[in-house]
Amino acid sequence: MNDDTLVLYYYDDGLSNQERRDVEAAIAADESVRARYEELRLQLDQLDTGSDVAAPTHMVQRWHDSIDRAAQRERVPVRSKPGQFNAMSFFWGAAVSAALAVGIGIGVIMSGSPVPVELAPNYALVDPETSSVVPGAFARGMQVHLRDTQRNIVALSGDNREDRTLLVMRIIQQNRLFERAAEQNDSAGLARVLRAFEPILLRLAADDIAPEDADALRRQLAFELNVMLTKLERDTSKETHKT
Amino acid sequence: MRTYTRLILIFFALIAANSAAAQDGDDIRDDEALKMVALEALMSAPSERALPIVIRVLEGTGSDEMKEAALFILSQIDHPDASEQLLKTAQSANGELRRDAIRMIGISGGDAVDSLAEIFSSGDADVRKAVLEAYMIAGNSQGLYNIAVNAENNDDFEAAVEMLGAMGATDELSKIRERSGVSDAIITAYIISDDADAIRELALDGSDLEQQANAIEALGIVGADDAEALLTQIYRDSDSEFIKEAALDGLLIGDFDDSVLQLYRSSTSTAEKRELLQRLVMMDSDQVLDIIDETLAGDH
């Protein structure tokens, strides 16, 4: 009997009648289950539910997916252990490649010479120099940018080094535009996050990056992008409620 | 299932992370994926509620990847305790986690940025590099300037100056130049920041031939509008073979083969023509074959 089931039982939510009966039987028959449920119940009782902010729709969907996957996992046989990611070897490799890549990348970006690549048709290009953005429009444009970046990061897993480098340069160029837009819209925090993406992107473009290291960096970026999307949606939602 | 119930489930998934018994690989991976989503979800919760949960993850026995994610969440929580926790991790953790905490201090941009100088001075090469990057992320050019002027070795000086170039911090670079003179690092920073004006000035300054030569080559790299004309003029006007050589290198780097061709045609010295022809061959100029043909025709 796991905690998830006990929490669902506590909230009388998400369990079938048979599952509820099973939980009741387990609590009655098993001392350890009863103790755990009591512990959870005490903690849940203490939680104040009044001030929670509604979770964004896309986040709720992601929770559903993750919980469903976790539930499926419980039903399939355990496979052999995957190779474990070695954080230390990752960093040393990344640091060495970054020393070169950051210099080259920044040079390309800062030179003002646009990288001659075609943007994907659905790629939202916003030029903060020419567009008259308002905070709402800015937030929406930023959300589109972050989602586009998510999509492009998935494409970075391709084997072709030149394609990968060009794609990284394209993402960075776009990122730079939005970084400037963030600064112009008094969103210094957002600008800092966008700046922080660049070194990671450049490490991803390095020739000698190991596949597992690249996976780890992509996961890191994906996580940070998701967090920023959630934060933006939360802030946008708050603004909407205010007005 | 109600959204709130799911959120509670996720909170408990995080809490359980710290007390989970050993699991097999796939279970751990899925469990971890769920916890990462749960961490993301914390951005929807009020900071005073999210903060203790994130700190618990950071201080627990979860993976480094999980803790790095927790650090990012901390960087997005506008609360003094969040900054304090980031600083504590940056000061006490080891390896990648420490460097990540330093990066997050840059992202958070709060008062903790002021403590980066101390972390820099006591850190190893990787920590120092992370601090420089954090200053760049925070947009703190003053911190980089302080590191550059107080650097105890050339590597730190160069890294700080080049990072200032990446930030386009022209004022700080000028101050460093006044204080320490022109150096390779300064010229590299000007290249990175695409400061053609500063490079042009150095390219015409004959007080230090070596740095002048570096600046002349840099002209070819930044490719200013007048770079081709200026490099050609420098080549023609200079009496120094060293500077002429640098100007030719600049023309080669900038791929200005038309100017090299003109110099070739106007030259009356066989030795010079040979040198210019070699450059044109290196530049893979379309007109090399014509010149070779002309030269051979002259022999006939």
Write out pLDDT tens, residues A95-111: 323 333 344 344 433 33
Nearest 5 degrees, angle CA A7-CA A11-CA A15?
A: 75
pLDDT score for B43: 85
Q: Per-residue pLDDT averaged across A117-121, rounded?
A: 34
* pLDDT for the residue A238: 63
ipTM: 0.77
Render pLDDT for A171-227 as a digit per residue (tens, 0 to 9): 888 898 889 889 888 899 999 999 999 999 988 888 788 888 888 999 999 999 999
Is B11's pLDDT higher than 60? no
The 8 Å CB, 24+ separation contacts for B181-188 are B181/B208, B182/B208, B182/B211, B182/B215, B183/B157, B183/B158, B183/B211, B184/B158, B184/B211, B184/B214, B185/B157, B185/B158, B185/B161, B186/B161, B187/B211, B187/B214, B187/B215, B187/B218, B188/B158, B188/B161, B188/B162
Q: How far is B231 from chain A (nearest CA, A)?
A: 19
Closest Cα to residue A8, out of B39, B19, B10?
B10
Q: Does B229 touch chain A (CB under 8 A)?
A: no
Burial classification of residue B275, based on how many CB atoms lie within 10 Å of its CB (0-12 exposed, 13-18 middle, 19 or more buried): middle
| A13 chain-B contacts, CB cut-off 8 A | 1-2, 5
- Are residues B209 and B240 in contact, defined by beta-carbon separation less than 8 angstroms? yes
- How much is the pLDDT for A13? 59
Quote the tokens at residue A179: 């970084």
Name the average pLDDT for chain B. Answer: 88
* Confidence bin at B286 (pLDDT 50/70/90): confident
Q: Is B262 left (phi over 0), alpha (psi -120 to 50) or beta?
A: alpha
pLDDT for A127: 41
List, for residues A27-71, the tens digit of each pLDDT value. Answer: 888 888 888 888 777 766 655 444 444 445 555 455 455 444 444
Q: Quick check: is B293 in a domain?
A: no
Residue B2 has pLDDT above 80, yes or no: no
Whether B62 is in a domain gets the answer: yes
Identify the DSSP state of A208: T
CA distance A140 to A130: 17
Give residue B260's pLDDT. Answer: 94
For chain A, give the mean pLDDT: 66
Round to whole Å and give the CA distance between B75 and B66: 14
Interface of B with A in 117-136 (CB under 8 A): 126, 129, 133, 136
Residue B22 within a domain = yes
Element at A185 (helix H, strand E)? none
Q: Determine the pLDDT at residue A139.
A: 84
With respect to residue B35, please indicate whether it lies within any of the assigned structural domains.
Answer: yes
Which residue's structure tokens are 């100017």?
B259
Q: How far apart are the C-alpha atoms of A102 and A81, rounded to whole Å?
A: 35
Q: What is the pLDDT of residue B271?
A: 92
Domain assignment present for B121 = no
Cα–chain-centroid distance for residue A79? Answer: 27
A 139-168 near B (Cβ less than 8 A) = none
Number of domains chain B is built from: 1
Among candidate residues A4, A60, A188, A105, the one with its CA nearest the CA of residue B14:
A4
Residue span of the structural domain in which B8 resides? 1-112
* Tokens representing residue B83 in the block: 């900054």
Helix (H) or strand (E) segment spanning residue A52: none
What's the mean pLDDT in A152-162?
A: 77
Of B44, B108, B223, the CB nearest to A234: B44
Considering only the beta carbons, identify the residue of B4, B16, B69 that sits closest to A49: B4
- Asked if B7 lies within 8 A of A111 by C-beta distance, the reply is no
pTM: 0.68
> What is the CATH classification number for the domain harbouring B59?
1.25.10.10
pLDDT greater than 80 at residue B213: yes
Residue B6 lies in a domain: yes
> What is residue A234's predicted lDDT score, i.e. its pLDDT?
80
How many residues are recorded in chain A? Answer: 243
The answer to whether residue B215 is domain-embedded is no
pLDDT tens digits along B90-106? 999 889 999 999 999 99
Establish if B94 touches chain A: CB-CB under 8 angstroms.
no
